[in-house]
Structure 1
Amino acid sequence: MPEHKPSESEPFEHKPQRGWVAVEEFLTQTVVHPDAGLQRAVQSATDAGMPPIEVTPNAGKLLKLLVQLSGARRVLEIGTLAGFSAIWMAQGLPDGGRLLTCEFLTKHAEIARANVAAAGLEDKVEVRVGPALDTLAALYSEGHESFDFVFIDADKENNSNYLDWAIRLGRPGTTVVLDNAVWEGAVVDPSIDRINAPGIIGALELLGSHPQLDATVIQTVGSKGWDGFALARVR
C-alpha cells in the first residue's frame, strides 16, 4: 500500500465541543505546562501552513511519561511534522538516550530539526527524511539496535505495516503507541472517512490478534475532536 503525504490523509473536519476544549486548555495550563521549546514547535507549524495535526499538549506529556515509565533509551517515531511530539519524548529520555523520527517531507524535517535544536535536544534526536516504510526497512537492513518505544502517527493507510515494523525493530517489552485509533467513531462507521478508516480498523484488528502484541485502546476528547490511542506491549 503506498505511503501518502500527511496532508493527503488528513481527517474530515473535527467538531470538538467547547467544553472539551476548555477542559483541555485548563489541564494544559494547570498540569502539563509545555515549555517555550514546545510552544515554538506548535507556532512554527502554524507559520509554515502545516496541518494542525500534532498531538495535544496533554497527549505529548503522556508520551514523555510513558517513555520515562518504560525506561526507554531508544525511541522510534513514525511521523514527525514540526517535531512537537519528538521534543516531548526526547525530554523523557535519559542521558545517552536517542530518538529517531521519520518524516516524509523535507520541508517539515527542516522545521523539526530547527525546533529540536532550539529546545536543546539536537544531541538526542535524528530526523530521517523519506517514505517511512523505506526508512524502516533501511534501519532493519542496517541492523539498528532494537527500539524500546515506538510512536506511530503517520498516514493511516499504512498503520498495519508500521505495527509490523514496530515488532521487527523492537524487542520483547517494547512499548508501542498508535495515535488516532478512534477517528470520530469511524472505526465503527467507515463511511465517515473511507480513506483512513480501513487502515485504522485493520491496525486495530492486528493489535487484537497478533500473537506478539498485547494492547488496549483509550478513547479521548478535546481540541482534536473525538479520538483515541492504542497502547501495546510487544510480547
Structure 2
Amino acid sequence: MQLNETWKKVDRYIEQQLIPHDPDLEQVLAANQQAALPPIDVSPTQGKLLQLLVQMRGAKRILEIGTLGGYSTIWMARALPADGRLVTLELDPHHAEVAQSNLLLAGLASKVELRVGDALAQLAELQAEGAEPFDFIFIDADKPNNPHYLKWALAFSRPGTVILGDNVIREGEIVRDDSPDARVQGVRAFYELLAQEPRISATAIQTVGSKGYDGFMLGVVI
C-alpha cells in the first residue's frame, strides 16, 4: 500500500509540473464517473505520453480500439493536424454515447469517427470499405482478443506505423503461464504473436503510477 501511495504522489507531482490544468479533460473524467463508466481511463501522464507519441510520429490517421469515455481519444486527437482523422471503436452503446458527448465538449467531433459495435466486426467493415492505412494504432480493449486486434492492426499498417498496446503487464501476472485469467492469457498470446511476427519490431515497458502496476507494448511496423 505504501508503495502504491508513493506512485500516486509521484504521478501528481509530474502532473503539477508538466501537464497544464485542463478544465475540459477534467470535465470528461467527471462525466465518465457520473455515467458510471469503469474507472480505467489512462492517467493524465499516460494521456500526455500518447499525445507526444502521435506528435513524434507526425500521425495524420489514428485508429483506436477501445474508446470507453473518449479520454484517451481526446489526448490523441488533439495532436492531429487540421486535416487529421481518428477512428475509434467502442462495443458498449452507453460508453459510446458518453464518449460522443465528451468529444463535442472538447470540440473534436469533426475529427473523430466513433463506430459502435463489436470491434472485430467493425474492423472487418473498415477493410470492406477500403480504409486507408493508419499511422498510429492504439489497442486498449478486451484483452482476450488482443492477438486478433494485433493482426488487424498489422493489416491496417504500412512501414512506419506505430502500434501501442495498453495493460500488457497486468501487475506481473503475464509471467504466469498457468494463469486462469483470460485477460492474462490474451496478453500472453499477444506477446507470442509479436515474437513470431517479422513485420513489427516491438518492446514492452513496465509502468507504475496512479493506475497501479502495468505497462505498454510499443512497436513499429518495418
Relative to the length of structure 1, the TM-score reads: 0.91
Q: Which has the higher contact order (CA 8 A, sep 6+)?
A: 1
Matched with 1:138 is 125
Matched with 2:26 is 39
Question: 1:114-145 deviations in whole A, cap 9, x for unaligned?
Answer: 10111111111111000000000100111111
Is the contact made by 1:16 and 1:225 (CA closer than 8 Å) also made in structure 2?
Answer: no
Q: 1:169-208 maps to which residues of 2 (within 5 A)?
A: 169-190=156-177, 194-208=181-195
Matched with 2:217 is 230
Unaligned runs of 5+ in 1: 1-13
Matched with 1:66 is 53
Question: 1:35-60 deviations in whole A, cap 9, x for unaligned?
Answer: 22211111111111111111111111
Residue 126 of structure 1 pairs with residue 113 of structure 2: yes
Is the contact made by 2:179 and 2:185 (CA closer than 8 Å) also made in structure 1?
Answer: no
Q: 2: distance between equivalents of 1:180 and 1:103?
A: 17
Runs of 4+ displaced beyond 2 Å: 189-193
Q: Deviation at 1:217?
A: 0.6
Residue 219 of structure 1 aligns with an amino acid whose one-letter code is Q
Q: Which moved more, 1:30-39 or 1:157-166?
A: 30-39
Q: CA RMSD in A?
A: 1.5
Q: 2: distance between equivalents of 1:189 and 1:45?
A: 33
Change (3 A) 1:150 1:23: same
Q: Deviation at 1:191?
A: 5.5
Is the contact made by 1:16 and 1:222 (CA closer than 8 Å) also made in structure 2?
Answer: no
Matched with 2:74 is 87
Q: 2: distance between equivalents of 1:147 and 1:191?
A: 35
Question: 1:154-176 deviations in whole A, cap 9, x for unaligned?
Answer: 00000010000001011111100
SS in 2 for 1:171: coil
Aligned identity (percent) is: 48
Residue 18 of structure 1 pairs with residue 11 of structure 2: no
Residue 93 of structure 2 aligns with an amino acid whose one-letter code is T
Q: 2: distance between equivalents of 1:27 and 1:206?
A: 34
Q: Deviation at 1:33?
A: 2.4
Is the contact made by 1:17 and 1:225 (CA closer than 8 Å) also made in structure 2?
Answer: yes
Between the two proteins, the alignment pairs up a number of residues equal to 222
Is the contact made by 1:16 and 1:224 (CA closer than 8 Å) also made in structure 2?
Answer: no
Is the contact made by 1:38 and 1:84 (CA closer than 8 Å) also made in structure 2?
Answer: yes
Relative to the length of structure 2, the TM-score reads: 0.96
Unaligned runs of 5+ in 2: none
